[in-house]
Structure 1
Amino acid sequence: MNKVFASAAEALSGLVRDGQLLAVGGFGLCGIPEALIAALRDSAVKDLTVISNNAGVDGFGLGQLLETRQIKKMISSYVGENKEFERQYLAGELQLEFTPQGTLAEKLRAGGAGIPAFYTRTGVGTIVAEGKELREFDGQTYVLEHALLPDVALVKAWKADKSGNLVFRRTARNFNPAVAMAGKVTVVEVEQLVEVGEIDPDAVHLPGIYVQRIVVNATPEKRIEKRTLTVKEA
């Protein structure tokens, strides 16, 4: 099975559709699949429900899809610095399901592990628990949370081999592994692509069984200007 696609647009072609549940890895600005988000924007799909810790900032990351009104609902842990996210939510133009950050990560991890639901104390006694099943264990009340199983997962990794074995780097190793595991179909954007066998098995962060499509985007690495700041500049 050939998992490698020539471009982000080709990797999403025939895969993303109106009304789907998508999960996007990263943490706002860190470790996000920039090329895949741009291709999603250009595809003009709409009415998406998107799972992501937050939605980037205005005009960057998922903020682009908010500006084009392609997202109808966000499942996230906070609004962050995205003014358009805040405006749409307060104006009633965007549905929002707030989820505590650790619970969001566990809902994705559970989905990838085949666990349909789990109990947690997080959110008990708050609006997070409203309408959800509560149960007592050892004298403590817990709320039932259901796993997330997105139709498509978009993730960012540093390196992959052609079988989809992934290595994450620095802050990209945040929500990306859990998002990749949870997706029914996972598309990964990488900076480096190598042949099968070139990645030491002990260095693999996520096995290729979870990855169906791969696209190379080396531009993030190229566009960063590296220089040493003087004390005065800092």
Structure 2
Amino acid sequence: MEGKILIVDDDEKIRNLISIYLDNEGLTTIKAESAKEALQLLKKNHYDLILLDIMMPEMDGIQACMKIREERNMPIIMISAKSEDMDKIQGLASGADDYLTKPFNPLELMARVKSQLRRYTKYNTGGITTSEIEIGNLLINTESRQVKVGEKEVRLTPKEFDILELLARNKGIVMSVSKIYEAVWNEDSFKSDNTVMVHITKIREKIEADPKHPIYIKTVWGVGYKI
């Protein structure tokens, strides 16, 4: 598998360890010891995925993720020693696509990296080949992965786009939280409720005129979501 990965962590040992794992899989790694250094690198280079530590001095990973999401949509995997649900929710709400808790298993790290890279470079269209899905004023281009509401382009993270496309391709069908999670994250839906909810909330904030009264993504209480 090919890919250029930016590793951002203030711990040199962690940076080097992750780099060894990824290099052994044929991936190209670049290391940054701070969020500010990472932002400087992003101004000059393209990366296919970012591994971003949360607990860093000066600018933490949450702030850095929000800053990156202003302009870039490559996958971001948060890495943190914090394992509480609220910490994960905060990380995902800032725009991250996945969250990995330290200490992590190298095999799990690689599985998550590969999963994100696959979805970023070649998203499974579910057998439907049309590149555009139009629902009211909402236009989704599955080839360019662009979303427009009217004439306004909306920037979604890779995971947000995948969820929106999944719902749009199944228009009118209620998708359970577990089905959404399994289809988009490609893993079992254990404790997936908060993860999906956070991403749905972020999508609504971007595509709905009034997120509290959505016209596109509807909640079917006790069941899931539908367009």
Report if TM-score (shorter chain) is over 0.5.
no
The structure in which a higher percent of residues are strand is 1
Larger Rg: 1
Per the normalisation by structure 2, the TM-score is 0.25
Higher RCO (C-alpha 8 Å, min separation 6): 1
Per the normalisation by structure 1, the TM-score is 0.25
The structure in which a higher percent of residues are helix is 2
